[in-house]
Structure 1
Amino acid sequence: VTTSIGSALYGADRMAVIGGPAHADELVHDGGALVAASTDEDLAGMLAHLFTRGGVICEMSNDPLGVEYAGAAKNAAALASGATEAQGLNAAGAAAGHIFQEIWRLAESQGGQPESMIGLAGTGDLVATALAPGSRNRRAGELLGSGVPAAEIAERIGQAVEALESVPMLAKALADAGIDAPVTSGLSELISGELSVDRWIALVRTSVPPPALWRRRVRPGFWARLRARLSPQR
Structure 2
Amino acid sequence: MESLSRKLEVKEQLKHCLTSYRDSGLNNCIQQIETRILSKKIRFPLLEFCGETFFQEIKLEEQIAFCAQIERLKTIGGNVIIGIILQKRLHHNLKESIGKAAEYISLADAWYICDIIGERVFGYALLNSWDQTFPLIQDLANHPSNWVVRSLGAGFHNAIKNGLEKLYVEQLFLLLLSKANVKDKEMKQGMGWAAKTTAKFHPDIIAKFKSEIENTEKTGAWFRTKVRIGLERHQYAKGN
Please report the TM-score for the alignment, with normalisation by the length of structure 1: 0.27
Q: 1 or 2, which has the higher helix percentage?
A: 2
Please report the TM-score for the alignment, with normalisation by the length of structure 2: 0.27
Question: Taking CA–CA contacts closer than 8 Å with sequence separation of 6 or more, which of the two structures ends up with the larger relative contact order?
Answer: 1
